[in-house]
Structure formats: structure tokens, C-alpha cells
Amino acid sequence: MKRTGEIIIEKILALCGLVTVLTTAGIIWVLFSESWGFFKIVPLRDFLFDTEWTPLFSEKRYGILPLLAGTFLTTAIAVITAVPLGITIAVYLSEYANRGFRNRIKPVLELLAAVPTVVYGFFALTVVTPFLQSIIPGVGSFNALSAGLVMGVMIIPVISSLSEDALTAVPKSLREASYGMGATRFQTAFKVVVPAAASGIMVSVILGLARAVGETMVVAIAAGQQPNLTFDPRQGVETITAYIVQVSLGDVPHQSLEYKTIFAAGITLFFFTFLLNNVSFWLKKKYQERYE
């Protein structure tokens, strides 16, 4: 009977969808179970508060702070670079530019987003670092600034494209009301449209931030592989992600504590990006309610 055929097909299709649920479950299981093994040996207090991370050295310390500092420093630089540029571009494209210009620029910005991150890393190491070294004293051959700047350029499309969507979603009537009162485009843009699109723009910033936090290759190549608790961008630092790569490249036996450190690092990373993403969902929901 064809009826059963239809039901079987529906179940198969549903199962394919379930793969995503299994993926999430898998990620959570993997991170938690291996970290559990790690935290049975390393006390949580040491992990959170120790200022040195040397699991691969003879004197082993397991404080996550240096890696957190590395992630934080590079991410901060990236966000400081990308947010003003990204939002300016978004405002320009949505409020000023004509359709022809917009249609030609948007594919190029998409291209920026399509470049593999390892290529950005190459550029950071071979062009940006020497350039910085020539204009700023004390910049190391691995440094957070170079990686941060390049990551910033990399996430501009995230911020500009989502912000632009948020800006164009603001109803035309608001702009017309403002222009009708004699306001300039600049005033309308920044006093009316941007505030109206504020939560959408914030979502774009948070997502850009999350992207930078999770980025691996740019920092692995240009920021360095030495954990370093510092806020000086001229120094080399190691991020959580770069550490995981470092261990994976080496020969670390599977049952060892060193191996489990990548999961402890991973779960920390997951925690932050999960938080950021859910804040952005919550914001998006609030923002949608406004227009309905």
C-alpha cells in the first residue's frame, strides 16, 4: 500500500533532520565527558585562576587565563577595528548609496567573507606584521595586533551585511517623517534609523564577536603559540583555538592529561560562543517583536 511507503519516506526525511540534533548532543557529550576527566585531576580553581598554562612543559600548570587573555586581546582588537568600519559601511550602503553602487559592492564584500582564514593568516604574518614593525617600536614577529587587525577585516562583512539588513528593515515612513522635518541624511541616519535598528545592529556585532572568538588560523599563524598573559598587543599570545591546533599537530597520547586539555579548552570556548549566540537570539526576538 502506498500509504506505508509515504510514511517510511517521511520518517527517513525526519531522521536526516535529526542528525543535527545528534550533532549538538555529540558536541555536548564529547566536551563534557573529556573535560570531566580533566577536572577530576585539575581542580577548577587552578584552571580558572592560575596565571600560567604550561601543560606541554615539564612543569605543568593549568591556568586558562593566558589563553583567555590571548583570545580576549585579539578579539577586542578585531571588534574595535570591525565595528566602526562595518557599521559605517552599512549606514552608507543603506542610507546614501544608490542601487548601482550597492549592487556592485555587495558581491565584493561577500568575496571578503569567502576567503579561507588560512589566507588571512598568511597575509597577517607576511605583510601586516612587517608593516607594523616598521611603524611601531617593539612589535614582535608574532603579535596580537597583526592578528587582531586582520581578523577585524575578516569580520567586517558579518557586521556590515547584518547591520545593513537591520537598517533597510526600518520602515520608510520613519525616514520620511525625519526628512519632512528638514533633517539631513546624516541626522536621519544616526538619530532615527540607527536607533530603530539598534538591536539588529547589536546582533551583528555579537555575531561578529563570536566569530572572532572562534577563529583559529589567523591567530595560530600570526599571534603565536606561546601562552602569554598580557594586554600588550605588540606581544605574541596564544588563543584557546590556537592551543587546540598546537596540541593536535603534536604527538599526544590519547589517554593523557595533555590530550584532555584540548577538551577543557574546547568547553571553555564553547561556553563563550554559546553564550554570545544565545544573547543574539534573545536580542533578535526582541527586535522582531517590535515590528509585528
Partner 1 sequence: MSNIRTNRLLDSMFKYVGIACTLLAIGVLAIFLGDILIQGIRRIDWSFLTSLPSRRAERAGILPAWTGTAWILGLTAIIAIPLGISAGSYLQEYGTKNRLAYIIELNIANLAGVPSIIYGLLGLQVFVRLFAFGGSLLAGAFTLSLLILPVIIVATREALKAVPNSLREASYGMGATKWQTTWLQVLPAASGGILTGIILALSRAIGETAPLIVIGALAYVPFVADSPMDEFTVLPIQIFNWVSRPQAAFLVNAAAAIIILLGITFVMNGIAIYLRNRWQKKISW
Give the separation between CA 233 and CA 41, rounded to whole angstroms: 33
The residue from 4, 41, 58, 107 that contacts partner 1 (CB under 8 A) is 107
Cβ-contact 38, 257 below 8 angstroms: yes
Contact flag: residue 136 with partner 1 (CB under 8 A): no
Task: Report the run of H or E that residue 4 belongs to, with start and end.
Answer: helix 2-41
Residue list 219-248, contact with partner 1 (CB under 8 A): 220-221, 241, 244-245, 248
Q: Alpha-carbon distance 3 to 16, whole Å? A: 20
Residue 144 interacts with partner 1 (CB under 8 A): yes or no: no
Q: List the interface residues with partner 1, window 10-49 (CB under 8 A).
A: 10, 12-14, 16-21, 23-24, 26-27, 30-31, 34
Considering only CA atoms, which of 228, 242, 286 is closest in space to residue 151? 242
Give me 273's grid cell.
560562543
Shortest CB 41 distance to partner 1, Å:
19
**Under the criterion CB under 8 A, does residue 262 sit at the interface with partner 1?**
yes
Instruction: Determine, following the binding rule CB under 8 A, whether residue 270 of this chain makes contact with partner 1.
Output: yes
The smaller minimum CB distance to partner 1, of residues 59 and 108, is found at 108
Of positions 51, 256, 277, 288, contacts partner 1 by CB under 8 A: 277
Phi and psi at 53, nearest 5°, equal -125, 100
- Tell which one of 200, 215, 235, 287 touches partner 1 (CB under 8 A): 215
Q: Does 192 bind partner 1 (CB under 8 A)?
A: no
Which amino acid is residue 289, in one-letter code?
E
Of 216, 228, 235, 261, the one binding partner 1 (CB under 8 A) is 216
Would you tell me the crossing angle of helices 99-114 and 144-168 to the nearest 10 degrees?
140
Q: Using the minimum distance from each CB to partner 1, give the nearer residue, 228 or 239.
A: 239
Cell of 30: 564529547
Which of 42-50, 163-171, 178-186, 230-238 is the region at the interface with partner 1 (rule: CB under 8 A)? 178-186
Residue 132 contacts partner 1 per CB under 8 A:
no
Q: Which residue from 124, 155, 139, 151 is spatially nearest to 233, judged by alpha carbons?
A: 139
For residue 140 the three cell numbers come to 614582535
Give the H or E element holding residue 15. Answer: helix 2-41
- If the CB atoms of residues 49 and 186 are measured against partner 1, the closer one turns out to be 186
Residues of span 77-96 touching partner 1 by CB under 8 A: 85, 88-89, 91-93, 96
